[in-house]
Amino acid sequence: MRRGIPLRIVSYNLRKHAAGHELADIAAAHDVDALCLQECDSEALPERLHHLKLADATKTNRLGLAIYVREDRYDVVETRVFAVQKSVHDRVLAPAHERLLAAHLRDRETGQDVLIGSFHAAPLTASNSLRRKQIAAAHAGMRSLAEDVPAVMVGDFNYPWFIRGLERRLITTGYALMRTTEPTYLRYKFFTGYFDFVTSTGMEIDRVDVLPAGASDHRAISLDTKLAA
């Protein structure tokens, strides 16, 4: 990654791929460098979305994960899928056992490495305690892919309450958490919330915006990030 030149990331929970038809327009309209998806159908994903190429996608999850990367800027060094501790919901209904897809990218011009993660935590039927363990395991997975490399993890954290406590815990591990400027979950008129977050280490992020609502019950989030000074 070129210092001072931001990496633009968009993350989108597609609601069981209901918003899959929106991806090409999002990639083009928002000049995306990395597109991270949750609840996608890997078999329905195209190999390319304009200037983006599919780096990898989960194959066995009913609620899949995927990452697209700007083809002319980054080489994909490695990708890896990680399973984390299961919730009761996972054990009974088996919607997803792999909750992090991570990609190790290298800027072709500078040789700078960066880690990108697409994350989907257990649903609200699970406890915040379990989700904290999943987040910690996902961060450990990212570090195992490439230790001491700047990293950004985005996605659906399913953590609308007691977020300050989560922020304090993450700081002790070297990760910062950022929320969006507006709520991201809009399925019910009487219940909206901040579900889609960003965690990072070694990176600078000024703000996390939301994109206009589409066919999903989540709004996509967008951020520009660069190497920390």
- 131-164: pLDDT as tens digits: 999 999 999 999 999 999 999 999 999 998 888 9
From 156, 151, 149, select the one nearest 99 (Cα to Cα). Answer: 156
Does residue 117 belong to any structural domain of this protein?
yes
Task: Give the total number of structural domains in the chain.
Answer: 1
pLDDT at position 125: 85
Q: Is residue 1 part of a domain?
A: no
pLDDT, tens digit (0-9, with 9 covering 90-100), for 27-50? 999 999 999 999 999 999 999 999
Paired tokens of 22: 């929106």
Q: How confident is the model at residue 87 (pLDDT cuts 50, 70, 90)?
A: low
List the domain range (segments joined by +) for residue 221.
7-227
Cβ atoms of 49 and 72 within 8 Å: the answer is no
101 domain residue, yes or no: yes
CATH code at position 87: 3.60.10.10
The answer to whether residue 2 sits within a structural domain is: no
Query: Based on the number of CB atoms within 10 Å of its own CB, is 142 exposed (0-12), middle (13-18) or buried (19 or more)?
Result: buried
pLDDT (mean) for 208-218: 96
Question: Hey, what's the torsion of the CAs at 11, 17, 18, 22, to 10 degrees?
Answer: 50
